[in-house]
Amino acid sequence: MLTCKELVAHSSDYLDGQLTLRQRLAVRAHLAMCGNCRRFIRQMKLTQAVIRQMPEDELPELDALAERLAQNRRNQG
């Protein structure tokens, strides 16, 4: 059976459908026994769904905001 650490290492491939049948079965067996990893996979699925809904175009105002925040942090330190 997979460890939690191994499941996390394979989680992206699992969610993307890129595991072999044997690997998928190992992941599913682990998820059947481990509530923490089931929660982790649910969070990963939610993250993927949110990212898919984000606009692909760059948002210059966000880049400017990130730069201002970084500058403020440097000035405070």
Domain chopping of the chain, boundaries: 2-55
- The mean pLDDT of 52-74, rounded to a whole number, is 82
Q: Note the pLDDT tens digit of each residue in 29-46.
A: 999 999 999 999 999 999
Share of the chain above pLDDT 90, in %: 65
Residue 51, pLDDT score = 85
0.75 exceeded by the pTM? no
Buried/exposed 5-37: b ≥16 CB within 10 Å, e otherwise: eebeebbeebeeeeeeeeeeebbeebbeebeeb
Contact 70, 41 (CB under 8 A): no
